[in-house]
Amino acid sequence: MSFFLMGAHERLKNNQLMRLHEMIDWNRIEGLLSKIHKRDWTRGGGPTPYRPVQMFKAVLLSHWHQLSDQGLVDSLQVRLDFMLFTGFEIGMSLPDESTFCRFRNRLSDLQLDEQLFEEINRQLAEHGLAVKEASMAILDATIIESANRPRRCIEVSQDREEQADDEATSNVLTTEPRIVESADPDARWLKKGNRFFFGYKGFVCVEARHGFIRSLHVTPANRSEVKEFETAINRTGSVDCVLADKGYASKSNRAWLKDRGITDGIMIKATQGNPLDDLDKQLNRLISKARYKVERCFGTLKQRFGFTRSRYRTLVRVESELYWKAMCFNLLKAERLYRA
């Protein structure tokens, strides 16, 4: 490291990125990235000075600061904290935007983004900043708009909130819209209230202690939340209790929880001829109050990290992007707890 960067490191020792850099064992991250051969993501397969862990750190910063690939290159040239965090020093040759794009896509193709997310979570748990096994998981879904919109659409699904019972929800949401001339073949239309959305649903489980993201997956926007419940909880691992809103309420989901000895914290939904009694309403209020952590999570993902609309097309790429945003979210939360 040059004398200039040594001085910069001392000046920026209380910088947020520097704290994150000290918090994570990057050698373990580099071990996961060893599955990528340099020729997989560099032009021509020739020798390159770029270490995969440097590329990972740089792409993480692009999601943290909502930067395009070109914006990332520009920031690496002028921002000292970016240089110190990634190890790209002044005077070094920097990757161009297409190199970052190929690297990111290769991670997605190998499903390494999920493994990297899990490794980050393991390290945070070792620091005592997150729990290894969440006794209580909170599940919800959010709409992620597609990077593209189709020029024509024949049929649109309604959001489950407008339906009166589980069966009606399931029937409506499983109707496949016929998309014509869409640049994003996996995205689907969804009507929520009076608005129409074209894109995906991101299902997220957070742990109840601090609200760290434990698991996630992405589906087309018209996918029924009732039908994604088991997938979401299975990805979360061992839990004793699950909290979820009434969109996940169904006899099959409640039976599934009971069979596994998991406490049922799904809100109770009134049906035709069966209104909620006072006890049901009180239980729903208690569950609703506890669910603020997942709602706060979505607020941070959208407002702090700009994930109201995906930057990429296809379900695989959108899910990969959500993993990057989830890593940013958990690291931000961990840094704040570490600082406190």
pLDDT digits (tens, 9 = 90+) for 164-201: 444 444 444 445 555 555 789 999 999 888 888 999 99
| Residue at 125 is within a domain | no
Looking up residue 276, the CATH number of its domain turns out to be: 3.30.420
Rounded distance, CA 190 to CA 215, Å? 24
Domain-located, residue 96: yes
Q: Is the dihedral of CA 224, 221, 197, 177 positive or negative?
A: negative
Are residues 63 and 192 located together in one domain of the fold?
no
Residue 300 within any structural domain of the chain? yes
Contact 271, 165 (CB under 8 A): yes
Q: Does a structural domain hold residue 298?
A: yes
Residues 201-205 have a mean pLDDT of 98
87 shares a domain with 144:
no
DSSP for 278-304, written as a single string = HHHHHHHHHHHHHTHHHHHHHHHHHHT
Please tell me whether residue 231 adopts helix, strand or coil conformation. Answer: helix
Kindly report, residue by residue over 229-284, the tens digit of the pLDDT: 999 999 998 899 999 999 999 999 999 999 999 999 999 999 888 899 999 999 99
> Are 192 and 152 within one domain?
yes
CB atoms within 10 A of CB 3: 7
Residues 230 and 304 in one domain: yes
Residue 162 confidence (pLDDT) above 80: no
- Closest-CA residue to 22 (of 85, 107, 103): 85
State the DSSP code for 196: E
Kind of pairing, strands 188-192 and 213-220?
unpaired
Is the domain of 105 the same as that of 181? no
Whole-number average pLDDT of the chain: 87
Task: Please indicate, yes or no, if residue 202 is contained in any of the structural domains.
Answer: yes
Q: Judge if 187 and 305 occupy the same domain.
A: yes
How far CA 147 is from CA of 105, 275, 314, in Å, comes to 16, 41, 9
- Output the pLDDT for position 131: 67
Nearest-5° Cα angle at 132, 127 to 133: 155
Sign of the C-alpha dihedral, residues 26, 305, 19, 213? negative
Shared domain for 175 and 146, answered yes or no, is yes
151/84 same-domain check = no
My answer on whether 301 and 185 are in the same domain is yes
Which H/E stretch holds residue 199?
Answer: strand 195-207
Residue 335 lies in a domain: no
Asked whether residue 116 is domain-assigned, the answer is no
Q: Are residues 135 and 28 in the same domain?
A: no
Q: What number is the average pLDDT over the span 28-35?
A: 93
**Cα pseudo-dihedral 30, 33, 39, 41, rounded to 10:** -110
Domain boundary among 110, 142, 160: 110
Range of the domain at 74: 3-110
Residue 145 sits in the same domain as residue 278? yes
Structure tokens at 292: 């603020």
Count of structural domains within the chain: 2
Taking the model in full, what pTM does it have? 0.89
Residue 199: beta bridge partners? 145, 188
Residue 148, pLDDT score: 87
Question: Is residue 144 classed exposed, middle or buried when 0-12, 13-18 and 19+ CB atoms within 10 A define those classes?
Answer: buried
Q: Are residue 299 and residue 218 in the same domain, yes or no?
A: yes
**pLDDT value, residue 117:** 97
